[in-house]
């Protein structure tokens, strides 16, 4: 499973009114799911099957770039709930898989409503600025943990690229993302998990609105020796926001 970006968060949730807490494990993974003819990957079907099998170890999984190989990602029947963000548009009439945002959530937690919001802004159809082929956006699902904690779980994949057009589109996406996030719940134990491929790093100013007010931030900072800036994989984040009814800490990240 080379060239995959992932982050793991195992939470210990402690409700003040409870004698014992519960643990929830979360995986976010960019599966690089473009067709093999476009990317010349090594055995993509087999790789997706292996991803599906390994993902069974987590309570809730968020995929990004789940485009062409969904059949193999769904081969495992471990998860009761699978939701995908889709939006029909002109390119999807030619290649149906282009209607997918690439965002997928899988879980066995009790799931309620989910909503996918397509970003209004994107940039490019050519070379490295090519984010307008699919309806990138944000998807949120409301779930209930076994211990009765209300959890809003959101996943995102923003435009890539460091050129001016990509940066401007990403800033617009951030503003739209913040506007559609589920509002905090104050009367019951509640937390909001935000995760995905932000295509931003912590030292970049544009990421500040996505980190402001979050109680916990976990990211993949496993950068190869001698690799700087563009080849660092620290663009995938999991953030946690809670209310006063919960204490949350990370057991492993």
Asked if pLDDT for residue 16 goes beyond 70, the answer is no
First to last CA, the chain: 19
pLDDT band for position 87 (cuts 50, 70, 90): very high
Q: Which range has the worst mean pLDDT, 32-36, 40-44, 80-84, 106-110?
A: 40-44
Q: Where are the beta strands (DSSP E) in the chain?
A: 5-14, 22-30, 60-64, 81-86, 100-107, 110-118, 137-144, 150-157, 190-197, 216-219, 236-242, 247-252
pLDDT at 222: 54
Instruction: Answer whether 180's CB lies under 8 Å from 117's CB.
Output: yes
What is the pLDDT averaged over residues 190-210?
94
CB atoms near residue 251 (< 10 Å): 11
Instruction: Answer whether 108's CB lies under 8 Å from 59's CB.
Output: yes
Asked if pLDDT for residue 228 goes beyond 60, the answer is no
Asked if pLDDT for residue 135 goes beyond 90, the answer is yes
CATH number at residue 161: 3.60.10.10
Q: Which range has the worst mean pLDDT, 6-15, 66-75, 203-212?
A: 6-15
Task: Show the domain range for 25.
Answer: 5-252
pLDDT at 1: 36
Asked if pLDDT for residue 205 goes beyond 70, the answer is yes
pLDDT over 90 percentage in the chain: 66
Asked if pLDDT for residue 3 goes beyond 80, the answer is no
Instruction: Answer whether 195's CB lies under 8 Å from 28's CB.
Output: yes
pLDDT at 125: 84
Give the phi and the psi of residue 108 in degrees, each rounded to 5: -110, 5
253 or 140, which is more confident?
140
pLDDT band for position 175 (cuts 50, 70, 90): very high
Asked if pLDDT for residue 231 goes beyond 70, the answer is no
pLDDT at 61: 96
Asked if pLDDT for residue 212 goes beyond 90, the answer is yes
What is the pLDDT averaged over residues 127-139?
87
Asked if pLDDT for residue 2 goes beyond 70, the answer is no
Q: Which range has the worst mean pLDDT, 17-21, 88-92, 202-206?
A: 17-21
pLDDT at 19: 53
What is the pLDDT averaged over residues 233-248?
89
Mean confidence (pLDDT) of the chain: 87
Number of domains within the chain: 1
pLDDT over 70 percentage in the chain: 88
Residue 116 token pair? 């996918």
How far apart are the C-alpha atoms of 30 and 35, rounded to whole Å? 14
């Amino acid at each position: 499973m080379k060239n995959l970006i992932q982050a793991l968060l195992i939470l210990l949730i402690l409700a003040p009114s409870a004698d014992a807490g519960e643990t929830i494990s979360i995986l976010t993974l960019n599966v690089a799911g473009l067709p093999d003819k476009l990317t010349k990957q090594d055995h993509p079907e087999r790789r997706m099957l292996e991803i599906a099998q390994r993902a069974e170890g987590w309570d809730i999984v968020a995929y990004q770039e789940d485009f062409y190989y969904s059949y193999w990602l769904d081969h495992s029947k471990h998860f009761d709930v699978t939701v995908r963000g889709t939006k029909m548009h002109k390119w999807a009439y030619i290649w149906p898989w282009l209607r997918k945002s690439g965002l997928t959530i899988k879980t066995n937690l009790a799931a309620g409503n989910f909503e996918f919001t397509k970003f209004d802004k994107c940039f490019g159809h050519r070379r490295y600025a090519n984010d307008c082929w699919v309806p990138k956006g944000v998807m949120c699902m409301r779930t209930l943990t076994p211990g009765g904690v209300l959890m809003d779980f959101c996943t995102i994949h923003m435009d890539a690229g460091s050129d001016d057009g990509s940066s401007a589109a990403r800033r617009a996406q951030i503003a739209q993302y913040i506007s559609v996030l589920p509002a905090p719940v104050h009367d019951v134990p509640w937390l909001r998990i935000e995760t995905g491929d932000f295509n931003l790093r912590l030292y970049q100013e544009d990421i500040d609105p996505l980190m402001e007010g979050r109680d916990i931030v976990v990211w993949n900072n496993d950068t190869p020796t001698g690799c700087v800036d563009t080849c660092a994989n620290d663009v995938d984040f999991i953030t946690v926001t809670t209310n006063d009814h919960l204490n949350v800490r990370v057991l492993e990240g």
